[in-house]
Chain A
């Protein structure tokens, strides 16, 4: 396997007496879709925060694209190519769908400190943004205010904002939360089409999605990694069945 895009090395985080990350180590390969699952309260969101840079670990390291990013904030990690899709819809509600994607494109295309040229006149950015919207199935919705989009459309818009940045890695925190069955399937196929193109870490409750997409799955229980393995290995693991799937020990 080539150099992993993301490597968590012995991450520790506690809130008071509560241990939320218990010596977590994890790798996502350069072409891998990796899923992170675990029961509620397993510490998934805290781990996502530590990967994204919004939460500082108490100990351990985060390496991204071969660099130690442990001390970097959210925006610097984003500029290195780490794109995020949040758990709750997180778009700029007052901007149109196109402006949201255009804004995202700006972040990875030269300086944002430009004061004269209207953003709307930057044709290349507009074209890229429109293409990204088309790819996630939002063609024709360009001029709608993001705040007025349906829930599933917002999720797709977020994905477009990630894709237009041509990221080196996608961090998806429950991208299917709150979407209907049809929408989930569509988004899952969309992510599947990126397989081999962009490596991902996806936190998801929808097991159909997880098994469809993930090359490897990590199960987090009580802040610690219980097991990392392929879908079949996870299905077969007794510890997972007890703790996560809620089955009684035989």
Chain B
């Protein structure tokens, strides 16, 4: 957050490209272009990228700013999707109800499980967040009323005051990009406000932060719950896009992939998660088009990144975050 702009032209170009707004504006431009040239494939891809970017951004907030390696972020994501399914079955389809409900549903899961996980540190925290996420996975797998293992189609896309606005893929893309922008803006503010400072201080020096009078536990819990809520919104959007909800949405591999997105993009910057998500979506799409074993490719990329100790796209181009 304290990066000083590089004086060179190349440095400035890179700084603009890495700015959080650039990636979001880029996604928006892709949607515009796709509409103009009638390439619906690109609209779908940009929507998917925006949704996963939102999920990764929320994880990047707790992981990067808070230093909490949560390996269970797929759970709130999936819960958000199930909120859309369940609310739809109950007749609630308005987007102004679904988005807050998805946030609250995911947050309601994250509050008690997070409070337990935050009693521990390090390796324990990683294992416990993973375990609770797996619990959510199995619980939804067992809910036969909502499709059990197989999952279920949602009744239809969200409405706005009864208007079926999101039947149009482009409108859904705008919703996803808009929400991504709104959450980015909120988290950007939070990072620079009091809360963000306390969260980072606790990451760097927990004992000192407590001795200054801050409740490290409560700060982390609020960050954890906020992040889960935003992931829930992302999950709701995913349900809207695919029209289908199943426990596979909260498979623990997704938690791992979200971590990969955050770290590949650079965890110290909020924008890193957005860039990382876009990169992984592109790898998935284009590697996936050539081979069904695209995850092997992703795995090799991850290993190469770790091996080269360059877990930061920013550093690759000579800028420090």
Contacts and interface: CB of A to CB of B under 8 A. Distances in A.
A–B direct contact (CB < 8 Å): yes
B222 A92 contact: no
A99 B197 contact: yes
Contacts of A54: 207
15 contacts: A52-B211, A78-B210, A90-B205, A90-B208, A92-B200, A92-B201, A92-B204, A95-B200, A95-B204, A107-B212, A107-B213, A112-B194, A112-B195, A114-B193, A117-B193
Interface string B68-98: 0000000000000000000000000000000
Given A78-B212, A106-B197, A115 B207 contact: no
Given A103-B198, A112-B194, A119-B194, A86 B214 contact: no
Interface string A162-185: 000100000000000000000000
Given A92-B204, A93-B205, A118-B189, A112 B211 contact: no
Contacts of A50: none
Nearest to A115: B190
A103 B204 contact: no
Q: Is the interface of B mostly helix, strand, loop or mixed?
A: helix
Nearest to A81: B213
B41 interface: no
B39 interface: no
Given A112-B195, A112-B219, A95 B201 contact: yes
Contact of A115 (B195, B205, B209): B195
B210 A74 contact: yes
Nearest to B202: A92
A80 to B, nearest CB: 9
B204 A112 contact: no
B165 interface: no
A108 B213 contact: yes
Contacts of B2: 96
B211 A78 contact: yes
Contact of A114 (B194, B204, B213, B216): B194
B153 interface: no
A165 B222 contact: no
A81 to B, nearest CB: 9
A75 B193 contact: no
B212 A113 contact: no
A28 to B, nearest CB: 18
Interface in A89-139: 90-96, 99, 102-104, 106-108, 111-120, 122
A91 B194 contact: no
Interface string A207-233: 000000000000000000000000000
Interface of B: 2, 186, 189-190, 192-198, 200-201, 204-205, 207-216, 219, 222
A161 interface: yes
B149 to A, nearest CB: 39
A99 B200 CA distance: 11
A104 B212 contact: yes
Contacts of A92: 200-201, 204-205, 208-209
B190 A84 contact: no
Given A92-B204, A120-B192, A165 B197 contact: no
A114 B201 contact: no
B198 A112 contact: yes
B214 A119 contact: no
A75 B204 contact: no
Given A106-B198, A114-B195, A115-B195, A91 B216 contact: no
Interface in A44-87: 52, 54, 73-76, 78-79, 84, 86
A103 to B, nearest CB: 5
Contacts of A122: 194
A165 B213 contact: yes
A103 B195 contact: no
Contacts of B209: 92, 103
B222 A113 contact: yes
A93 B222 CA distance: 24
A119 B200 CA distance: 13
A52 B207 CA distance: 11
Contacts of A165: 212-213
A79 B211 CA distance: 9
B201 A90 contact: no
Contacts of A91: 205, 208
Nearest to B186: A115
A107 B215 CA distance: 10
Given A84-B211, A94-B204, A112-B194, 10 more contacts: A52-B211, A74-B211, A78-B211, A78-B212, A86-B208, A102-B197, A107-B212, A112-B195, A120-B192, A161-B212
Most buried by A among B197, B204, B214: B197
A75 B194 contact: no
Q: Which 4 A-B pairs have the closest CB atoms?
A: A78-B213, A107-B213, A118-B192, A114-B194
Contacts of B200: 92, 94-95
Contacts of A94: 200, 204
Contacts of B189: 115-116, 118
A73 B212 CA distance: 12
Nearest to A171: B211
